[in-house]
Amino acid sequence: GAGVSQSPSNKVTEKGKDVELRCDPISGHTALYWYRQRLGQGLEFLIYFQGNSAPDKSGLPSDRFSAERTGESVSTLTIQRTQQEDSAVYLCASSLVGNEQFFGPGTRLTVL
Amino acid sequence: DAKTTQPNSMESNEEEPVHLPCNHSTISGTDYIHWYRQLPSQGPEYVIHGLTSNVNNRMASLAIAEDRKSSTLILHRATLRDAAVYYCILRDPMDSNYQLIWGAGTKLIIKP
């Protein structure tokens, strides 16, 4: 069965450009999370989607970050006017509500 | 969510048992103890979780202290494929977003 997939696997961009990261969750998983992981550090929560409820955006670090999810399927994380400090691995996870989270392989973002 | 404390790194020999400790002295009565691990260049994967009683699954065992202020993840026979960063995380199922608060984890090094 298919797990969580993310694309692209790697993204190199120039400072000031916008980037869009994609996450395809496991079919049937109503919960979807985005995390950021800087080199050598633990995961930092960004945003949480649950069904049709309003997303929990409490972890987004600035208004340059936004995310959308269509129903219970694909989600996109958008970073506008990227900065070098945005360089990190961006991880997506999905789950049934309250259950273990299944993670994708991540997108490694490098801002030059 | 309450905070957890883990050693930065541990070493073990292949084929030997590994005991990974985690302290969570401020755990609340409803917090579950979750363990995830992250292999190099991959997203995290669920290992095990428990509330009060010790738990076993095909990957590992979880031993929880009687006062629940600490726990130990036990890998019964470590292999080179178990080399990863292991995260101990507390989660309250009553939290509305089920987010996991991640620390830096323990980097487990397996020596052949």
Q: What percent of chain B has pLDDT over 70?
A: 94
Query: pLDDT tens digits, residue range B48-77?
Result: 999 999 999 999 999 999 999 999 999 999
Are A42 and B87 in contact (CB < 8 Å)?
yes
Average pLDDT over residues A57-81: 94
| Residue B35 CB contacts under 8 Å (≥ 6 apart), including other chains | B22, B46, B47, B48, B49, B60, B62, B73, B86, B87, B88, B89
pLDDT at residue number B93 = 74
Is residue B88 over pLDDT 80? Answer: yes
Q: Which of B41, B42, B105 sits opposite A42 (nearest CB)?
A: B105
Residues with Cβ within 8 Å of B29's Cβ and at least 6 positions away in sequence, in order, are: none
By DSSP bridging, strand A10-13 and strand A107-111 are parallel
Q: B33: distance to nearest CA of chain A, Å?
A: 12
Interface touch A56/B101, C-beta < 8 Å: no
- CB of A98 within 8 Å of a chain B CB? The answer is yes
Q: What is the percent of chain A where pLDDT is above 90?
A: 79
Nearest residue on chain A to B33, alpha-carbon basis: A100
Closest chain B CA to residue A103: B43
Q: Is residue B99 scored above 80 in pLDDT?
A: no
Does residue A9 have a pLDDT over 80? yes
